[in-house]
A and B are shown apart, each in its own frame.
Chain A
């Protein structure tokens, strides 16, 4: 295999991986704070993509569309939170899985009712630039750049702000945090909102880079889970690493196996990781 082909697929993988990492951050945040995997996560991502599509059809400028879509997803998530999602913390494992699936299904069906079930893509930026023999579609570059920016913002918030410190405290030790006068319930609510924002924003970017249809929501949920698990469930750095690895694995699978397996690669990675090294690559993951 010649080096420029390798480089092409490598770059594809990294660019995609940046967005994947962002998509997984929200799931990791929810897991850290609630000890619960939100199975509707992928559908918040999908919802954002569809909203951007619709807003662009209505002639809204793309950047504004992305921002509005993210905000709308946060509102929808907050609505779900108020309507009872908040009770899922502490509920039995069965209740958590089944209820979040229920929500996921409702969103999925709503999406196909409103926008039909055919496959859509968001075309905002077209064209590509070439560096040497490597072709870089502009939409992929900008999406990756925005993902990295959002990720950096998130990490900054986490490490420098009081809110971030409170979130980290609640993730590690809710009882201890409450003793230190942290309003745990408030932090949990804020974390859910931030998670929706991360998912929404990731959705606006993913929609420009991949084709999507309502049922893909489940794939996004489990892809995000696989990424989080790969890096170590509960670790934000792990989510970044996991995102990049999955991005690369999927990219090279197109080259080495076939494009048809792209949506099964992360499932395979998940299987291998859980069976062989449940604490993730970094070894810091929680095994529930």
Chain B
């Protein structure tokens, strides 16, 4: 029996007159990697922002492990949601520029976990997270001096260091070369396999996401278009139409 880790029900989000999300229903099961795709402006990042408490929804609710974390009446703050066990990365990386990679992750460890932790233990945990994401050789580099690939890895390391049960990844591989993309795919697989973390992955680079995920949800203009396995989605005519016509062969 699959355990529901996240239940998004009827989420509607408006910005002035623009409907960014329209009655979206998504269920995320524990242990899966769920792909979230859709053309630009379809509302993927907005959905992440609603889940993590950055925007309150006009209607609907988001339940995390049976606790309501977002609804039109009650919205928890991002830091509270983080402590409950949801981590996220940002589409455009937001490193703490003048801090080193180690210090960046240290902030997560010190503040993102439910229990308090000593400085010595925190350093150790931060180093572990950095190593897991392959950034050990950069641990003392100022994060503003990292290239895009390492900045993206830092986003992951920071999110992982808060010991999340659910990880929301927002476009980690766009702009990377094929080697770097493969590296990321492996890393994401490791996250699920070794750390048992459920993942929802928003991505534009189709070949990356189709190879890795169990299930795909497609958004278009703020509504859920279809959901299913990668093979089914790739040959769905509505999806092809939404993306204006490329068929991805697995």
CB–CB under 8 A between A and B in the complex? no
Residues of B within 8 A of A (CB): none
